[in-house]
Amino acid sequence: MASSDKTINTDVPEKDVFAIHFLQSLSNLTTQNPFNSPDTTNYRARKIKKAAYVSMAKAAGGSSRLWSRALLGRAAKENNKIVRFARRKRKVTWKISSKRRSDQRAPEATDRLRNLVPGGGTMETSKLMEETAHYIKCLSMQVKVMQCLVDGLSPK
Amino acid sequence: MENELFMNTEFPPPPPEFEPPSSSSAMMLNWALMDPTNPQQDPSFLWEKSTEQQQSIFDSALSSLVSSPTPSNSNFSGGCGGGVGGGGDGFIIRELIGKLGNIGNNHNISGEIYGTTTPMSRSASCYATPMSSPPPPPPPSASSNSQIMMNRTTPLTEFSADPGFAERAARFSCFGSRSFNGRTNSHLPINNNVVNNSGKLTRVSSTPALNGLVSPELAPMIPGGEFSRKRKSLPKGKPKENPISTASPSPSFSKTAEKKEDWSGKGSKSLEEKVGKRRRDEEEDNVDEEGGEGNKNNNTKPPEPPKDYIHVRARRGQATDSHSLAERVRREKIGERMKLLQDLVPGCNKVTGKALMLDEIINYVQSLQRQVEFLSMKLSSVNDTRLEFNVDALVSKDVVMIPSSNNNNRLHEEGLQSKSSSHHHHHHHQQQQLNNIYNNNSQLHPNNMMLQSPMNSLETSSLARSFTHLPTLTQFTDSISQYQMFSEEDLQSIVGMGVAQPNNESQHMKLEI
């Protein structure tokens, strides 16, 4: 499922990478909270969702994508754990400065996209588009994996 | 040595004062005709020296040229008289070419100009050298201006024999002027463009005499120039970037050394290419992504390493402001990526326009996220008894086969430790094994085809739920080469197999952890 543009690289690992990470995180979850004392479904669902996102971020190449780094950072913060990434050089873009200038704008489509894509708050629009493309690919992969799992594990 | 030359030529250092253009043309002639008085000059040596010092000396040389004192006029008036007639215009033009080439810091142009005449000139080799070597930053020396001027006239005078050269050179000079006035559609508003340019081009602007010189001389060549420009809109394949845009007063443009090389690199190309709307499509290929958002400095030669700048050539009839150019490049980048996204998001082909596309994309992302949430809820509710995976057994089997060579990888870096640290040591070990497998596989096979095997084993184990199935999985781990045969279809089929099996063994679903 690798697509390679000439200048934009939005390659995404194969499905099994996602599957491995997800299963791994799931197993971690189950070991953490043995099912003897089932929490509310909601709580567990949320944990599974978080595990899904984290595993997706890891599978997608943890620190090579802005959104994955933001996701992992967010998750680590929730767990009160510190996560260190190799810092990439960040150019201060005038796009950011222009964004600050026009904070009063009505929520534009790009702003909504920024809210959706993790880590999209401080990217210029072209970078945001790249990240969105990669994010969409990874999301669809993750959805496929989860669907497979659910289908496999659900009683027939 | 420069002193020797100076003495040879017996040229007084020119006072730094400007003269009206009318006399400057005469001075050009004088300069051009200086050579016959000094036969012992070594052309190659002089030429090399001149190339080395062309850059910094240019405007001082120009000023000297322009402001040649009247006594020198009187000295050469006699010599001038004879040779002015036929080749006079040629001299002027060639002199101008030399200057113009230096203005643009475009040694390839000047090298080309002189290089084209190599078959005609006996000092062919000396012209090869200036082309090959980009000039080092020359030390400004006012004293050597005069003889450098003369030195440069030496090769010029040798071209006097070729009448066709004048015309060609004139056309080149048009290109030369256009190379640094690149964004202009009109022929030679050199004054305007020169003044607009910052950086090293300000020197040109400071010499209005040159403008006066150039415009009348090259005015007759304009139709030819434009014609040649149109004619030379050849399918070079690589569009032209606008060096001028690099001169815009932005802090990131301040790398003069790099600009120099870019100039030289593109000089030859800018000669042959034109500003055209239809080149925009090709231009996108050359937009260097590594460039900063405001920089346009791309090198069209693919083998060259990408620099920090992106060259952009202004389209016909469009604003040539650096900011608008930057805006245009940015917008094109965004449009390019929107096209990419359009392929990803299903059902976006009918939608056109940025806003609608963005809405579609947002909807798609939201739907995907909702799907993840829904599936996770389903997973949590339905599979609470079945989420126990026998990862350990599988992992240990695979680990035996695959040597774990690298324990340091991003999986470790990325806070996996945080998860593993909270586990029992046993599970920590298990995770590490899993990581090792993953890492090794990913390293060995970039397409992660080999991950199919542990993935298969995991899937089937979770679905197969009994140890009796495990031995059958070992055949997958026998040789790594077999893994390459796996494809996603195989995976899904195996998953399908696993799905079918619970029907038979739903009683024995429970697995050990």
B71-101 tens-digit pLDDT: 444 444 444 444 444 445 555 556 655 665 5
If you write DSSP's letter for every residue of B352-407 in order, what string do you get?
-SHHHHHHHHHHHHHHHHHHHHHHHHHHHHH-TTT----HHHHHHHHHHHS-----
Please check whether residues B213 and B257 belong to one and the same domain: yes
> CB distance A153–B379 less than 8 Å?
yes
Q: Using alpha carbons only, give the angle B170, B318, B97 rounded to the nearest 5 degrees.
A: 15
Shortest CA distance from A90: residue in chain B: B292
> CB distance B491–A16 less than 8 Å?
yes
Find tokens 């806070």 and name the residue.
B415
| B242, β-bridge pairs | B312
Strand (E) or helix (H) holding B151:
helix B145-158
Residue A77, min C-alpha distance to chain B (Å): 11
Contacts of residue B74, Cβ cutoff 8 Å, sequence gap at least 6: none
Please check whether residues B372 and B412 belong to one and the same domain: no
pLDDT at B356: 84
Q: For an interface test with B, which of A5, A14, A16 has the most B Cβ atoms less than 10 Å from its Cβ?
A: A16
Closest partner CB to B292 (pick from A10, A76, A91): A91
Closest Cα partner for B470 from B451, B454, B492?
A: B454
With beta carbons under 8 A apart, name residues in chain A contacting B455.
16, 19-20
Please check whether residues B272 and B371 belong to one and the same domain: no
Give the model's confidence band at B418: pLDDT under 50 very low, under 70 low, under 90 confident, else very high: very low
- Domain presence at residue B300: no
Looking at residue B319, what DSSP letter applies? -
With beta carbons under 8 A apart, name residues in chain A contacting B330.
95, 124-126
Give the model's confidence band at B59: pLDDT under 50 very low, under 70 low, under 90 confident, else very high: low
- Domain presence at residue B154: yes
With beta carbons under 8 A apart, name residues in chain B contacting A31.
423-424, 427, 513
> CB distance B361–A83 less than 8 Å?
no
CA A150 to chain centre: 20
Please check whether residues B275 and B262 belong to one and the same domain: yes
- In chain B, the number of structural domains is 4
Q: Among B3-17, B190-204, B298-312, name the one with the lowest average pLDDT.
A: B190-204
* 3-state SS class at B277: helix
Cβ neighbour number for residue B10 with a 10 Å cutoff = 13
Contacts of residue B434, Cβ cutoff 8 Å, sequence gap at least 6: A20, A24, B391, B395, B454
Cα–Cα distance, A102 to B383 (Å, whole number): 48
Task: Give me B234's structure tokens.
Answer: 């050849």
Q: What is the ipTM for the molecules in this complex?
A: 0.84
Residue A100, min C-alpha distance to chain B (Å): 17
> CB distance B337–A133 less than 8 Å?
yes
Please check whether residues B446 and B403 belong to one and the same domain: yes
Closest Cα partner for A133 from B364, B332, B151, B506?
A: B364
> CB distance A133–B418 less than 8 Å?
no
For B359, the domain range is: 345-381
Please check whether residues B334 and B414 belong to one and the same domain: no
In tens digits, what is the pLDDT along chain A, a chain of 156 residues?
A: 444 445 667 777 777 888 888 888 877 777 776 655 556 667 777 777 787 888 888 887 777 777 778 887 887 777 776 666 665 555 545 555 555 555 556 667 788 888 888 887 777 888 888 888 888 888 888 888 888 888 887 776
Which amino acid makes up residue B250? S
Query: Cα dist. B438→A50, B182, B213, B445, B451 in Å?
Result: 21, 54, 71, 10, 7
pLDDT digits 0-9 by tens, B403-415: 433 433 444 444 4
Residue A83, min C-alpha distance to chain B (Å): 6
pLDDT digits 0-9 by tens, B349-382: 787 777 888 888 888 889 999 988 888 888 777 7
Cα–Cα distance, B309 to B312 (Å, whole number): 9
Please check whether residues B23 and B109 belong to one and the same domain: yes
- Domain presence at residue B500: yes
Please check whether residues B349 and B256 belong to one and the same domain: no
Task: Give me B152's structure tokens.
Answer: 């440069």
Strand (E) or helix (H) holding B226:
helix B222-231
